[in-house]
Amino acid sequence: MELKALHPGELLTHPETGIQELMRIFLMRTNFVPGIRHVIGWRGLKDSSQDVVGWTAKIKDFKGIYGIYFATCQTSGSWIRGKFALCYFPDPDEELVEACSVEAVAMTQRDDYFTQVRDFLRYPDLCSLFAVARIDLCANGSENALLVGMESTSRQRTVARDGVYGIRDGRHIEIVAPGGYDLNFPSYSISLAFFRVYTASVTFSLNEPPVYLLQAHRKGEEIVYTSKGKVRERESDSIQNRCLYLGYGVAPDKIADKLIISGDAPNTVDINWKKGDETVSEYDNELWWDVHTVADYKTLDKRILGIEERPQLIIVTGFLGSGKTTFIQNFIEYHVQHNRFVAVIQNEIGETSLDGKLLDHDYSVVEIDEGCVCCTLVGSVKRAIRQILSQFHPDFIIVETTGLANPFNLLDEIGEIKELARFDGVTTLVDASNIEESMERFKIASNQVKAADILVVNKKDLVNEETLTKVKARLREKNSTAPLVAVEQGYINPALLYGIDFEEMAETIQGHTASPSAIDKSAHIHDGLESVKIALPETINKKTFLSLIESLPTFVFRAKGVVKFKGYSNPCIVQYVNGRYDLAECSDERFRERFLILIGKGIEGASLDNFFHKATEHSKSKLKSEHMPR
């Protein structure tokens, strides 16, 4: 194990900063790898740092949200010990709510509960109400040793000696009977679920399993309080304070043992396992033992289809206030539902926006949510993409420029990244209500329109039809070739613009009709967009087919499908946009039919089946067309 490979800085030089950065690495690293993320159990991670470093997280099988944040740091010799507090904020409909205190239950029923949870570090009382454990991260840089631990109580229990009463419908009611439990929360089991996911991430990041496991306990306490506010603790035979530690690298020495075993009363060691001992049956099936052996997980779509690994690269630009953020959020939400992963690089070329928490990186990871990572870029696009792809495997990379950025400057670099990503063009968003004024006053707004491969006229609901027609005509003066679609609130089904919706395509091939909610008709059909599916011969001459694609009418701005070329063992996925196309072999046996889906304006009445038949008239198979189900 080589800690410097993960953390190039000297931990002991700045121990508090270093241990927090190490925690950040372990939390975020696996969240960039969709397959691993889902196998391990992550279901979302968001940086929630305020004055202290913290995150919110979701894991599989739990409706609630975890919060973890830095508490304090200690040093002992060459060891650094970072202590992080762990909270669990249950979903209001979760059964666990019943085990919370009356005060906590009331908090979960507030309208702003999840708003506060998202920024939980702003609310110390919230953290206190829902605290469940302490997570320890202990590192020894000189010995390349690491300890990851958790300490929690089997149950947080509070006894209301005089009961708890409230008022409902004007009447006094008993909420907790005298001597009953106001709080009886299974903290250890809730904390262990998070610990399992986190330590599996550590194993994957270190690329090696633990060599040490320690489990210990001591007798726990419960809290008793009276109606007059008197509070005391008392020992309970049914409660244990438990700790669980995993060691990586060099087995912990006595100094490390002292860091682990804490508390006033002696601990009872339940398990003290070291590498070479017999396996511990209680933890025999944990992912932390072998998840590092699972290499190069991709998303479900890529693994099934056997498609090349290069992600699609999309530049999203637009003048200030055009709605880029909303557009990208809709894009991410759509692909999350299809188990795909999106990396968003927020382009800040020419500015320095890093916060000093990073070590020698060209990009800063600021947020990972279900299916998405957001970064801040300063410098080379190629360098940033290389760094992302060296560790993570997104399906799409979106470079989001600032409202004042000229996308032509980024295009200079695109030719250099062909081996890293498949460039899918520049999408420019414009605000229908003020784009004309913006282009008149600012040359950069005109350049963003000129650079577009796809123009999205956003906020069409804010202008009348006459103004919208005028805006479109004005945009056409600047860019006569880019497909132009008008939308509301930045929404258009991404399958119409980028890539292939394989799941939707599979349903079409199998004769199923896509769900009506899969496409928001108000976002594109009202703007004149249509789609047609063209059946192709079982095999087709590649040269002829490419000639066909290159001569598609201008009103076809998107084509995608599955073709089989003569002389090729596997079919190919075809993707075409605005004159550019890309081919990638796939081996999925589900896609036996050969076809193209064409998207554009006026397609349904264009007799494209005749066009295709004429272009491939040497083929014995007559081409047929059928409309895509809506």
Residue 88 has pLDDT above 80, yes or no: yes
Q: Which regions of the chain carry the CATH code 3.40.50.300?
A: 298-492
End-to-end CA distance of the chain: 54
| Mean pLDDT to the nearest integer, 335-351 | 63
Q: Which of 284-293, 388-397, 557-566, 600-609 has the highest mean pLDDT?
A: 284-293
pLDDT at 223: 94
- CA separation for the pair 473, 463 (Å, rounded): 15
Average pLDDT in the chain = 77
Return the CATH architecture of domain 495-630: 2-Layer Sandwich (3.30)
Residue 318 has pLDDT above 60, yes or no: yes
- 514-536 confidence digits (pLDDT tens): 222 232 322 333 345 566 778 78
Please report the beta strands in 36-193, taking only residues with DSSP state E, as ranges in sequence order: 42-47, 54-59, 65-76, 79-89, 131-140, 145-153, 156-160, 164-168, 171-176, 180-185
Report helix, strand or coil for 244: strand
- CA separation for the pair 307, 310 (Å, rounded): 9
- Which has more pLDDT, 487 or 332? 487
pTM check: above 0.75: no
| Mean pLDDT to the nearest integer, 240-245 | 94
- 592-605 confidence digits (pLDDT tens): 678 887 777 666 55
54: its two tokens:
């913290």
| Mean pLDDT to the nearest integer, 99-123 | 92
| Mean pLDDT to the nearest integer, 172-188 | 90
Share of the chain above pLDDT 70, in %: 74
| Mean pLDDT to the nearest integer, 255-276 | 70
pLDDT at 254: 54
Q: Which of 100-104, 173-177, 556-560 has the highest mean pLDDT?
A: 100-104
Residue 118 CB burial class (10 angstroms; 0-12, 13-18, ≥19): middle
- CA separation for the pair 325, 85 (Å, rounded): 32
- CA separation for the pair 593, 567 (Å, rounded): 17
Q: Which amino acid is at 51?
A: D
- 266-286 confidence digits (pLDDT tens): 578 899 999 989 988 999 999
pLDDT at 187: 97
Q: Which of 269-273, 498-502, 588-592, 607-611 has the highest mean pLDDT?
A: 269-273
CATH T-level assignment (fold) for domain 298-492 = Rossmann fold (3.40.50)
pLDDT at 319: 86
- CA separation for the pair 190, 88 (Å, rounded): 8
- Which has more pLDDT, 345 or 468? 468
Tally of CB atoms within 10 A around 122: 12
Residues in the chain, overall count: 630
| Mean pLDDT to the nearest integer, 218-236 | 90
CB 344 within 8 A of CB 328: yes
- 186-224 confidence digits (pLDDT tens): 999 999 999 999 999 999 989 899 999 999 999 999 999
CB 65 within 8 A of CB 87: no
**Over the Cα atoms of the chain, what is R_g?**
29
Reduce the secondary structure of 134-174 to three states and give it as a string.
EEEEEEECCCCEEEEEEEEECCEEEEECCCEEEEECCEEEE
Q: Which regions of the chain carry the CATH code 3.30.1220.10?
A: 495-630
Residue 117 has pLDDT above 80, yes or no: yes
Residue 615 has pLDDT above 90, yes or no: no
